[in-house]
Structure 1
């Protein structure tokens, strides 16, 4: 949220290094600390080839034609378009989704974000604010909508009001949530720009404790990667980093095909997809995880909401 335009960014070199270091830590293991910027390990099996983004997009568009009354189909198309930077197209798809599932706060806030990103001039177009208001009416705790409503205050000149709202969001943010650091950075940046003292309050403000459903997947007696492991991973050329990361995720999906009842791995897959910026695939992982484990739907949804998975 450091740029006031999105809840979470895509893959960075630092994230890539940490994800690769996870291979050294978790090769063949079950579970990891979900709130670290890491990804699940693979057992060294060769990665399965994946479809090109254009092929994946075409498949999602075909699905909306065959299932025009499926909110899930339109939501995944919206997420895929968003991932590819087609924010106007994402907004159009999300509009279809909320029309079919108007009680989903997550869909409304995703629509609002797409409308913000699609705007060429107004940093907070009225249509985006309307979507965020809808989300808040359905779920007053929706973090994306709360964040952007505070952005509206900031761009409107109420910088202290925006900072107060961001602090309130920070207090309601689960400990270690992916957007916590960016939220703190936003508060710092806006405070510095407008000469509002925030350092003392930031030092005292802590994210809230996790609820039972939010408790992360715990690493099971597995030591963390060493500093030398991390440094070695960070020195890999970007192409090798990307290939290694994709191999990890593909290996995880292979394990889930063999054992779809492993709820922890579904959470890992969602986390990995969101870290890679593949929000549509994260949404599909949520759907597939719930289908395979209906009794764990509450936990899967709680984890997905904290990760920012669209529609969660």
Structure 2
């Protein structure tokens, strides 16, 4: 019952709340992927750098003159592809052009983007490889739109369930609800579910990173083969901190089990079975 050892239920509230905070931080930050890019047309150029989250990122393009751009995750679910793009025109149209190989060697949409640095720089355009039957945009290099969306959905669900677990834990410290879905017993289920969805999105994104992003960060410059990020992209802290909520949701369950163990050892909580005096098998001698 929730009337005993309430301090452990309060501890569950605190631990689940910390897990929830890290879920939110992971969702809102732009360090899921960090990496650098090398110019394929001029090896004397400095490395360019990219970091991005699930929605947008920052592309520091060091080609002749340094400039930074905000790139946005742009997806086409009909073709199941996503890429980090910026353009003075529609990024959706640019994604379609990349997917269908409708770009030429003089295209430089990134150079026409609005710079996020304090000054606007004129960027010396890169020279892309001519798109022929042997040099084309490999569709395997795009981010998988289904995996990207599933990652976000699982993360949001984990955060919502984590919030529910935190609120119910706090509620059970001041009340003693009789409905299971509001009781202490339900906290096992909610924390376990939040842990499961967190683990699921970690697996989804980690798998896609190993299969795709590790070799191509899915920017226009890398998809059009102007630059390469092969083996220079890494998982950032926004991804790695997802292991913290998994640990804390698991810790919440452990605290609840420990509380149950203490209750079982408490003589005041032991149930005394009283034999039914109306049982006809009982006789007095």
Q: TM-score range by the shorter chain?
A: under 0.3
Q: More helix per residue: 1 or 2?
A: 1
Q: Larger radius of gyration, structure 1 or 2? A: 2
Q: More strand per residue: 1 or 2?
A: 2
